[in-house]
């Protein structure tokens, strides 16, 4: 596994309540990962996402939910020997299982929503909620890399993470502050090493929950709250981008009231899953003299999972050969190299030496998270 120091800060408390004491028996999240893929071929970055989760979490298993066009290859078969199960997406089965847990759930209406959705990303938003509700575990987008054991986070009943954004749901994009910050962010994304300048602007960003990484035990009431939220979206907006993804998650978190302490949803600050936000993530794919040194600056001691933000890079072209060739100079390739298959592992990966934070001084993100909670 990638060498990272121990977690400096305990996971901050939830916005819905503050857990204290041990979690009750049966409330922990299973050591199981859920991935969703629409398409015939699983690209290298997606197989590395799965392999990194299994490798970084000893004893874990994973499910890859896929559509009818999917054709497994040797890499998928290799992952199956490591604990992966490939399963065709059956919305009918998922809805039947969900109704067995919550008999009052309107599964016919949810089925109609799924049929209305056509974009794979939109369908994936609904499938991930249903799969987590029916199975429990940790959902991960396929453009992620897991670099630490998530065991400390699985002791909660449910968790997700925040990212730094310019325009959270409901904020006008014509705000002068957002426009100015957006232009500065564009420059920080384009200029080498300018992520350092962007880090000084963290206090000016908004924090918003993202659904690329979510964990929950089977039947968690917040997942039911999410499914009920799906049914509250007007039909003429159901196919809009982000509506069933980040916007739904943020909306339902704000209104969720857990009946019991073990039903708390832990909301983690950006450094856990999104240490580098949208657009600035281009530095993951830029050419540097030393990818290791840049990775040390981009990640934090609290980073468990890295979300690559696939929309800013051509991940499909980054196959095994590309990663081996560019591992010394590109952060993405440097960090992914360790998780290539045994046949293509190449030279020994570069170990990370992330600068430790002062444990007596929580980061600004931790402070903001606790205030908002």
**How many domains does the chain divide into?**
1
Say whether 214 sits in a helix, a strand or coil: strand
Say whether 142 sits in a helix, a strand or coil: coil
Global pTM value:
0.86
The answer to whether position 279 is within a domain reads: yes
Task: Say what the pLDDT of residue 121 is.
Answer: 93
The answer to whether position 263 is within a domain reads: yes
Task: Say what the pLDDT of residue 241 is.
Answer: 87
The answer to whether position 15 is within a domain reads: no
The answer to whether position 6 is within a domain reads: no
Say whether 113 sits in a helix, a strand or coil: helix
Concatenating the DSSP letter of every residue in 345-359 gives --SPPPPP-PPPP-T
Task: Say what the pLDDT of residue 341 is.
Answer: 73
CA distances from 359 to 142, 355, 372 (A): 32, 12, 21
Task: Say what the pLDDT of residue 172 is.
Answer: 63
The answer to whether position 173 is within a domain reads: yes
Task: Say what the pLDDT of residue 170 is.
Answer: 58
The answer to whether position 301 is within a domain reads: yes
Low-confidence ranges of the chain (pLDDT < 70): 1-27, 169-174, 342-373
The answer to whether position 249 is within a domain reads: yes
Task: Say what the pLDDT of residue 15 is.
Answer: 41
Task: Say what the pLDDT of residue 351 is.
Answer: 46
Domain region containing 319: 32-372
The CATH number of the domain holding residue 179 is 3.90.550
Task: Say what the pLDDT of residue 11 is.
Answer: 53
Task: Say what the pLDDT of residue 47 is.
Answer: 97
The answer to whether position 23 is within a domain reads: no
| 8 A C-beta contact, residue 86 and residue 72 | yes
| 8 A C-beta contact, residue 136 and residue 219 | yes
């Amino acid at each position: 596994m990638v060498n990272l120091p121990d977690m400096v800060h305990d996971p901050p408390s939830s916005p819905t309540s503050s857990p204290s004491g041990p979690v009750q028996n049966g409330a922990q999240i299973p050591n199981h990962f859920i991935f969703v893929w629409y398409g015939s071929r699983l690209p290298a970055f997606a197989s590395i996402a799965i392999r990194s989760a299994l490798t970084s979490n000893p004893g874990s298993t994973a499910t890859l939910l896929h559509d009818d066009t999917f054709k497994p290859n040797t890499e998928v078969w290799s992952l199956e020997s490591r604990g992966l199960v490939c399963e065709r997406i059956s919305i009918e089965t998922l809805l039947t299982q969900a109704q067995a847990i919550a008999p009052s759930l309107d599964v016919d209406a949810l089925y109609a929503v799924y049929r209305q959705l056509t974009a794979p990303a939109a369908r994936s938003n609904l499938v991930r909620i249903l799969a987590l509700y029916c199975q429990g575990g940790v959902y991960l987008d396929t453009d992620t890399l897991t670099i630490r054991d998530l065991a400390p986070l699985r002791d909660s009943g449910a968790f997700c993470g925040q990212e730094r954004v310019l325009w959270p749901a409901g904020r006008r994009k014509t705000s002068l502050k957002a426009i100015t910050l957006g232009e500065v962010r564009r420059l920080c994304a384009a200029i080498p090493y300018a992520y350092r300048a962007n880090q000084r602007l963290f206090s000016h960003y908004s924090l918003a929950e993202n659904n690329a990484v979510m964990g929950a035990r089977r039947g968690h009431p917040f997942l039911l709250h999410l499914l009920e939220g799906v049914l509250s979206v007007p039909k003429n907006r159901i196919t809009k981008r982000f509506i069933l993804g980040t916007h739904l998650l943020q909306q339902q978190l704000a209104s969720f009231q857990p009946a019991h302490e073990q039903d708390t949803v832990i909301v983690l600050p950006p450094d856990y899953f999104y240490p580098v936000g949208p657009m600035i993530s281009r530095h993951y794919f830029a050419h540097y003299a030393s990818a290791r040194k840049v990775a040390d600056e981009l990640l934090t001691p609290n980073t468990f999972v890295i979300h690559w933000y696939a929309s800013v890079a051509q991940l499909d072209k980054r196959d095994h050969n590309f990663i081996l060739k560019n591992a010394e100079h590109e952060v993405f390739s440097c960090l992914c190299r360790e998780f290539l298959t045994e046949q293509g592992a190449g030279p020994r990966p570069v170990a990370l030496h992330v600068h430790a934070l002062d444990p007596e001084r929580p980061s600004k993100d931790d402070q903001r998270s606790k205030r908002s909670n």
